[in-house]
Every structure is written in structure tokens, then in C-alpha cells.
Structure 1
């Protein structure tokens, strides 16, 4: 209401600002945002829906244009996040509700049970040795298996075991508890429940990451039908020393080294029919990176990149393109692939 003395409008009193930041998504961008905010003096909640931080970058073998080991870049950031007193990591957590406004939000979080006590678990892996159930390994893009109780990946933060509730025999029909006595720290709690948390924060940073395009939607390329047709992220896991083949680049169909590999570009992007008219901005460069790494595995390998055009626009990218283009046995072919077929006897793709 107007002030009778000077005609100014009297503003309603507001709640005090909260000097806490919530970062939603703990991929590399979320991790860096959390570290920057924490090192500036803010209290940070780093919220991740998965069981460990790192996101898609944790699945990569190396990164362009320097070909540095991806985990060599991430691991120090993992440690810094885990040890920074200003950062609280909340994994297996999703946002249920946000109330308030800038400077004063109340966020309701739902944290799914791990069925393992985070305070007691040391990540030793003994429980997994006794577990009788093998499940597909999502970290390795379903190219390998691991136990129903497991640590997400070798360098995971937090390095705490988690049980898959959709595969565990006890959680499905109360038939197995063999992992419980196997744990000397008594960390396994098969009766854990979902936890609801409420926290007050002054601001939120959204770093939700991305979901890879479902290559099966482009049925003409035979993904999920032909064993030797893989996505780029699956190929990263095949290259990686922590991957299903422990760093040996082998064909999925027969476990033999490949003699020729083709990379088809713009699958799912720059395509009206796929629903994505934009350029992915990364596939040209990571295809070149994978070509270079593949040639390091097998120097005699024949490699071809089938592309609409090459977009090497970042710092050092053109030099990286020249490096790939001038590597013996590597070809760049301007083309649009219409269909792939599999030879029944050799499982080769034509």
C-alpha cells in the first residue's frame, strides 16, 4: 500500500535469501558447476538420478582432440566432489516438487533405496562374489554382464554397492539372501525404503545431460538385428580397457578382430524423418577419434567415414581432421547410406 509520507509503494517483506545451490545432474557439466559454486563458498547439493556421478563421460574411452583418457580427466573431479566439505552428493535421487521463487526454493527429493547402507559399505565387492544372479551391465551399454549386487563401475563415486530391485530374488519373491551374511560389515539392508527429503536452496542449476538417439528407429541400418552394427557409445565401451573385452577391439558376432570398419554419420540428426533437424555437433569429431584409436589397436585396419559433410569447427578440430584424413588406411566418403545387409555366413555388413 502507498506510504503516506513520500508516496512510495511499500513492498511486502520477503523471506531471507538462501545461500545454497542445487545442481541437478551429475555428469561432467554438473560436476564442474558444483565445484565452481562450492569453491566460491556456496553450499551445494549435487543431485543425480543414477547410482554414481560421471554421466556419459564416464563411459568414454578417450576425448578429442587431445585423446586424453576420459577417466583421467574425471577421476580428480570425482575425488574433489567427494571430499569438498561444501558439496553433498545425493545419488539415486530425483526431484518430486519445487516450491518458492528465486533466492528461496523448497525442493522435495525422493531418494530410492540402494538396499545397502552407505555408511557401512566399503565397496569391497565380496557380496558380488556370492550373488548367483547375472544382469546386463548398463555401464557397458548392455555388452557385458555383472552381478545383481554391484558397484556401478570401477572408479564409481560413491563406491558403494547397489542392488537391482528388478532382478534380486529376495526383492522379487523373498527367495535369496546369500549376500547378507557374506558382508562382514553388515551393510546390506534388503528392507530399505524410499526416502523423502526437503531442502531449502537459493538457486538451481539444471545439468540433466542427454539420452542417446535410439538407433533402432533407423531400421534400415539393422541395429539390434545385425551383431556387428553398434552405436558410437557401444563402440567406446569396446575400445575401453574397462569395457567388456578389456580393451581388445573385437567383433560382437564372433570375437575376432575387425579388418574393415565403417562409420555412418548423422544417424538420427539432420534428418526430418528422425525428428531431429539439427546437427548433433559432436559426431564428426568422435568418429574421427574412434578411427584414430581403432588404427592404434590395429594399424592394418581399413576405416571409412561415410558422411554428409564434415563440421570441424572447434579449437584444434581442423588439425585433428587433417590428422585423421592423412592416416594411412582411412577414407572419408561423402555419401548417404540407404540400407545395410548382413552376409549370413561371415556376418559381415554390406
Structure 2
């Protein structure tokens, strides 16, 4: 502060290339601030192409030293992006970092206005407010808090498993929470992975077993997070462990209870409705943990108070079956949280013209995964719903629920490659004629286009155009008993009716139905399409606006398995960067209530 007690304020206006300068007259704003706000304490006002660059920061630092600035106002992008950048620059020049104020003239002015005069005047008004506000800033020092070394990973699909293993292998404790009875997620249901055609179970189950047996991982399957309190470095999380009615410490996983259970029901989860399971069950043979769970909605004992076959035949002592077991609330304390809660599959019944649920031989992509899986209900045989007949012709429809403003505008990333994989598997196992109906073929990543060329060489037919309808109403010879795919072939400019025996719908990936609820529970935002919102889509894709809450995998948006694994590892690396600091500097700004 000067001898007269007046602050010496510097104003710096960023062009941000043309992001700001394309809509705001930056030079005019800079000159105006130096003249009109001089009485408010502004002693220098400058504009620069990129204030966040090293040269832009040096401009601020030099003025602080040479002009004795006591406050700094930067009119640029959102403080969420570069506030720390400019605070650090002020600190290097000897000015307390918290005597810097950012004014968001990009997000709040240039990106939301088209009228240059109006945008310029609004920028001036916001900078005036920033100058008035910065006068009231006080020098502050960051608060230092210790970091709890434990990390909570919510969701144990491939993203969550990868994140948990990365942290656990680094020597730090992890709580891995999964809402289903077994870890593994959607990948555990797949037969092959594109483009290499690896057996999905062969590459996933070793990681599942390692995670389940890792000394640094506390696995909490069949559990859900109820409540989250605290802040980065010290979150207190309440987890509900749902009753399995099987005592985990006693159960040996022998499977006799499953064998003796007399109640068989349709498995509409893991087997997608194509197979059966018992009322006491493991989701699949390689499930981790190995303990079964009793389905109370279908168990004869819970329905009528009779049976208890599982308990009667259980060979352990004491008995591993406990019908009195209750849900248990467990409280844990962690320093970081990684959300890897995955996705839901688009319900193909929402597009009635495709006939799913009405026409027997229309299958979803998940149903076909189970159909062609050697561990699936048909032991890998590609057959129609009758369980016997091989299809002689198959139609595969891409983008079911994707790239359609009636359902989801976005691309689901995996549909094209998944459909190519299905085409290859059908050709390989049945030799049937295969038709792929696509809008645009998207094969962007490593070896993807080569896989597309391989499928082309196998004689698969490709028809470009959105399918209008799948019907069983025959109109022409050769259509009797067939499913007819009606489509406009945009390459030849004609409507076509293609009869097939089976139709596979490549369904869109959607945010989980409870994503908004989960976001509120963890204090993070969801996008307009309900995926979890990252801090920055390019520079910080695994962080969120809530410090210490990270996201990975399809919880953030549709992606393939390699990208999901990479993002799980990236989230783990970010968590480890916090843990290894031992302590964390927290924002010293605190809200207070004036009781008047």
C-alpha cells in the first residue's frame, strides 16, 4: 500500500487468442481500465495475447516488482482453469497469492455474447467489479492438513480394478466397493475383445483374483456408499454392506448350497435373460469373491418360510447360511475417492420399430455377447431363440440409441467396433450372410481400421443408412418366416428390404440411472447428458471440481476398454500424487454467517 494508504492495482486483460478478442474489444477495455479506474487505485492496465503464458506471467511479475503493486486483477478465462496459475505468479514476485482476483470474461462474456459492443461494455463492468472486490482481499496462508493414505474406489469394473491395483501395488490401502455380488463389471460378460479378439475372461479374471487377494485391498462387494462427509485428505464414508445371508468368514465357496437349491429362476442380469440360475447363486463361475448370495425375492424360505435346503446341506461348521443376517453400516476414512461406477445399456424397447421384446429373434448386443460366450447359456453356439437353429443370415444394426436426437445425441464410441466383432464371430461360427447397417464407420484407434478391413475381406455386407424398421410382415417372395430390415441405402439412394433370420442391436452406452443421485452424494456435477463432469475435458479429465474426488472409465463418458484401463491408471496416479505429499494445502477461504 502506498504512503497515502491507497492500493496500487494492476489490471491485465487476456485476448486468449480469439476466444475473448473475437467478441470483446480487448485493447479498448485495457485502455478504459487504466483511465476510468485510476481513482479506484489502478496504476497500470495491460492486454496480452495469452496472459497464462510464461511471457504473460512475467509481465505481471515485473509490474509487481517495479510498480509496487499491492493488488492484481486478471480478466481472462474461468478461475477454475487458471486462478492458481496467476496466484503462483504473484507469489513468485513477492505478492501474497490471495491478493489476486480473476474476472471470467471468456466464459461469462465472450462465449455467451455475439454483440461486440455489448460484450465490451459487460467486460468493463465486470472488471470494475473485480477492482472493487480485490481491495477487500486480505493476505492469507494456505491451511495444511495431513492426507489419509487410504483411497476409496467405488465400482469394480475394469476401471475400478485397475485403479485399485495401481494404488495397492504402490503400498497404500484401498477400499474397493462394488454394488453387485462380484467384481468384474460389464467386461466379465463379454466373450471377445476387439480388435485383438482376446478372450475377455482370460485377461480380466487374473486381475479380479489379484484384486480380491491383495493384502492392501479391502474388497467390499455387494455394498453401496450411503453417505460421504469431509474433504480431500479426510473423507468419512458410510458404506452399506447388504446382507448376503451367507457368512463370508465361514463359507468355503464349495457350491453345494447352489447345487441343492430347488428354485431355478431366469438370470436377467449376468445372462441377460437367456439363462437360468438358482435362488442362491454366484453370478458366474469365476466370481470374486467366491461366496454366493441368496436372492430373497425368489427364495422359497423368504417367500413361504419353508425349504432351507441350502442351510441343511451346507457342510461347514458352523453353518455358513444365516437367514437372520442384516445389512451392516460400515464407516471408513479415506483421503481420496475414485468413482468408476460405469454405465447402463440403452433399453432397446424404447425403439419399438426395431421389434425388441416383440420379435423373438431380435437380440441386444449384451444378449449376443452371452450367446456366443463359451461359458454362456448355449456354450458359445450362435442360435436363434429356439436354442437349436443356426441363423443363415444376420443383420447387425449400429447406433441403436446413439447419434439420435430422440434418445442420445452422442456417439457411444464402441458400437462400430463391437458390431464388426459380432460380424466376425457370426461368420466364424456359422458362415451366415451378415449385413452391418451403419450411419458412419468410426474406427479411430490402434488396429481398429485394420480390423474393419479384415471383416470386409470376410465377405460381410455393409449398408450405409439408418434402419427405419425391423418387421416380420412379409410382402415379397422369400420374406416368409424372416425378419425384414427396412433401410434407405444412402450409397445407392434406394429403399431396401433385407430378409434375415436374426437381428442384433448394438445398443448405446448411457449414464447410470442413478448418476445424478450419486453425483449429489459425492458433491460432483453431471453433464447435460448425465455423465460425471470432469474438471477440464482436455487438461484434467480424471479430476472433478471437488478436490479429492476423481472419476474413471465410462462414468465420465463412453469409451473402449483400453481407454478405460488407461483412465483408471491415471486416476490412481492422481490419487497417489496426493498421498505421497503426506499433507495438502487447502484453500484458506471459508464461508461464515453474519447473524443479523
Q: Distance in 2 between matches of 1:200 and 1:267?
A: 42
Match of 2:547 in 1: none
Match of 2:482 in 1: 348
CA RMSD of superposed structures (Å): 1.7
- With CA pairs under 8 Å and 6+ residues apart, which has the higher RCO, 1 or 2? 1
Match of 1:157 in 2: 288
Q: Distance in 1 between matches of 2:387 and 2:188?
A: 27
* Contact 1:179–1:188 (8 Å) recurs in 2: yes
Match of 1:70 in 2: 200
Instruction: In structure 1, list runs of 5 or more residues that go unmatched.
Output: 1-6
Match of 2:444 in 1: 313
Q: Distance in 2 between matches of 1:150 and 1:236?
A: 21
Shift of the 203–268 alpha-carbon distance from structure 1 to 2, 3 Å rule, reads: same
Q: Distance in 2 between matches of 1:147 and 1:96?
A: 29
* Contact 1:215–1:231 (8 Å) recurs in 2: yes
Shift of the 333–202 alpha-carbon distance from structure 1 to 2, 3 Å rule, reads: same
Match of 1:23 in 2: 153
Within the candidate set 128, 132, 139, 2:270 is matched to 139
Q: Which has the larger radius of gyration?
A: 2
* Contact 1:228–1:347 (8 Å) recurs in 2: no
TM-score, with length taken from structure 2:
0.56
Within the candidate set 165, 186, 205, 2:338 is matched to 205
The count of residues paired between Structure 1 and Structure 2 equals 340
Equivalent position SS for 2:236: strand
Q: Distance in 2 between matches of 1:155 and 1:242?
A: 10
Match of 2:399 in 1: 266
Equivalent position SS for 2:467: coil
Q: Deviations over 1:222-256 (max 9, x none)?
A: 10111100101110000001111011111014630
Q: Distance in 2 between matches of 1:98 and 1:71?
A: 33
Within the candidate set 352, 359, 371, 1:226 is matched to 359
* Contact 1:227–1:347 (8 Å) recurs in 2: no
Match of 1:216 in 2: 349
Within the candidate set 313, 338, 344, 1:182 is matched to 313
TM-score, with length taken from structure 1:
0.94
Indicate yes or no: 2:446 matched with 1:286: no
What's the offset of the Cα at 1:133?
1.0
Equivalent position SS for 2:225: strand
Within the candidate set 232, 242, 247, 1:102 is matched to 232
Within the candidate set 371, 375, 382, 1:249 is matched to 382
Alignment of 1:25-40 (within 5 A): 25-40=155-170
What's the offset of the Cα at 1:322?
0.3
What's the offset of the Cα at 1:21?
0.4
What's the offset of the Cα at 1:348?
2.5
Q: Distance in 2 between matches of 1:79 and 1:11?
A: 43
Within the candidate set 335, 338, 349, 2:465 is matched to 335
Instruction: In structure 2, list runs of 5 or more residues that go unmatched.
Output: 1-137, 485-596
